[in-house]
Amino acid sequence: MDFELKTLALGTAADEKCDAMVVLVTEGLHTGKDALSSLISQALAAGDLESKPGKILSAYGAQGLACQRVVLAGAGDGSTKSVRQAVAAAVAVVKTGPAKSLLIVFSAAPRVGAVRAAVLAAADASYAYTTTKSKPEPRKLKRVTIGCANSSSAKTDFERAQALVLGVEMAKEWANRPANHATPSMLAHAAKSLAKQPKIKCEVLGPSQVEKLGMGSFMAVSRGSDEPLRFIVLRYDGAAKSEPPVVLVGKGITFDTGGISLKPAPEMDEMKFDMSGAASVLGVFRALAELQPALNVVGLIPACENMPDGRAIKPGDVVTSMSGQTIEILNTDAEGRLVLCDALTYAERFKPRAVIDIATLTGACMIALGGVRSGMFSSDEALANALLAAGESALDPCWRLPLDDEYAEGLKTHFADVANVSGRAGGAITAAKFLQRFATRFPWAHLDIAGTAWKGAAAKGATGRPVGLLVDYLLNEASRPVAPQGKSTGKRAAT
């Protein structure tokens, strides 16, 4: 999909020729004497339109308008959230018709972030997965133009949005693919193709290299599968070599049957989304390739399937992780933490300024926070606050959950250094406590995206989250250089 940004006043929008037009109507709008303005004020006065976000009025062939199809969309107070809601509702209407190009008009000067919200919402509402359809329907909406009074002030916002659309759609694509179309090798291939972009490199390790590294925990999970595991290392080198990188670690379980601790059949197909963390890392790198920020970023993806088999790990088995810590695998369905812990140990070699892992880790997190906010855990106040702020500004919010040591009590066992599960209570937190044991040498955060990475039921599909949050965080970091060894050179920029 193509995007364009254009300077346009509400007064002149009536003369714009386009397939379809969406006009964002904010509260207290000053309307002029032009045809579009009078349409809006008449509709508001008659009660057929409200400025409340999500309220829609479609018009066809209205007098004095060059554009046949016009959708008036209430955009509330013009906040990023209201604009997103308005555009989502309006594009849902437009896409049922034949329009190929769409003009979205801001009737009042857009707030910071509002143009980005509009672009992302338009892309999201018109997205459709097609890869494994025999007769894929091409995307009907080909072009979206954003019109606002002063387009130069919205330019940065607009460019970030375009990069984000590419990142979010790459994350959606890989998360949506069925597991037989998104094997560990295929994920690795996708990562390799990202390395064609400027400043991006990719290295892929296979089973023998992973064994040499001593990743006994990661290897244990993959034992039950005939698909060979892959350990993907992506680098984006946007700053001097001496600059410590931010490391992103994405859970890449391309299918999670639960292993010998087999999951029940209903909705098991959704476990193809269990590599959404990995997909978000790929998506972030896609966006970095466009934005080229002055920052170093490493992406690590431990990718494998979790399958039951004669060679699969069994409840009670003890394995040795790359860190040297032994782990009693009491439940083979708690596999995410088993692949992540070795990737976290691997991250140490980069002397990172921060490590963030992203994982569809626990059903418990989905129960706790639902699909609105991702769970966030961090051992570092500054990192936690930076992620919270990035989540708010990107409209991809997270919520911090605790890491009190008492939550780790249940992970104690007589047979190894640590068990991979504790009781059902506080399941998202005990999973984070397990990971924290492997993240002691750098500022660390964990995002549990089990509830936010995809939608279930009729709307089934990947959301592309938390690409938006991560990109905002990284761009903020790029304007806050730090010295090697993680010493801060100055004050953290306000986020």
The residue number whose beta carbon is nearest to ligand BES equals 363
Figure out which of the listed residues 124, 157, 328, 335 binds ligand BES, where binding follows CB under 6 A. Answer: 335
Encoded tokens for 178 = 């069925």
Minimum separation from the CB atom of position 335 to Mn ion (A): 5
Residue 96 and residue 98: Cα distance in Å, rounded? 7
Residue 417 and residue 271: Cα distance in Å, rounded? 29
Task: Enumerate residues 93-132 that contact ligand BES by CB under 6 A.
Answer: none
Residue 463's closest CA among 235, 129, 216?
Answer: 129
Pick the piece of the chain touching ligand BES (CB under 6 A) from 128-136, 226-234, 319-327, 355-363: 355-363
Ramachandran area for residue 102 (φ above 0: left; ψ -120 to 50: alpha; else beta): beta
| Residue 357 is a binding residue for Zn ion (CB under 5 A) | no
Site string for Mn ion, 223-262 (x = CB under 5 A): ---------------------------------x------
Figure out which of the listed residues 256, 357, 448, 477 binds Zn ion, where binding follows CB under 5 A. Answer: 256
| Residue 450 is a binding residue for ligand BES (CB under 6 A) | yes
Residue 365's closest CA among 429, 312, 280?
Answer: 429
Q: What is the CA angle 168-252-318, rounded to 5? A: 155
| Residue 333 is a binding residue for Mn ion (CB under 5 A) | yes
Residue 490 and residue 479: Cα distance in Å, rounded? 11
Of 167 and 375, CB closest to Zn ion? 375
Residue 249 and residue 281: Cα distance in Å, rounded? 7
Residues forming the active site: 263, 337
Encoded tokens for 288 = 């970095």
Given the structure tokens 């008009």, which residue do they identify?
Answer: 105
Residue 237 and residue 239: Cα distance in Å, rounded? 6
| Residue 305 is a binding residue for Mn ion (CB under 5 A) | no
CB 156 within 8 A of CB 119: no
| Residue 274 is a binding residue for Zn ion (CB under 5 A) | yes
CB 318 within 8 A of CB 326: yes
Minimum separation from the CB atom of position 40 to ligand BES (A): 44
| Residue 315 is a binding residue for ligand BES (CB under 6 A) | no
Count the Cβ atoms, other than its own, within 10 Å of residue 275: 33
Residues in the chain: 495
Minimum separation from the CB atom of position 360 to Zn ion (A): 6
Pick the piece of the chain touching ligand BES (CB under 6 A) from 79-87, 354-362, 394-402, 476-484: 354-362
Residue 307 and residue 257: Cα distance in Å, rounded? 6
| Residue 173 is a binding residue for ligand BES (CB under 6 A) | no
Of 43 and 268, CB closest to Mn ion? 268
Pick the piece of the chain touching Zn ion (CB under 5 A) from 169-177, 271-279, 337-345, 390-398: 271-279
Residue ranges in contact with Zn ion by CB under 5 A = 253, 256, 274, 336
Residue ranges in contact with Mn ion by CB under 5 A = 256, 333, 335
Residue ranges in contact with ligand BES by CB under 6 A = 256, 274, 331, 333-336, 360-364, 366, 421, 427, 450
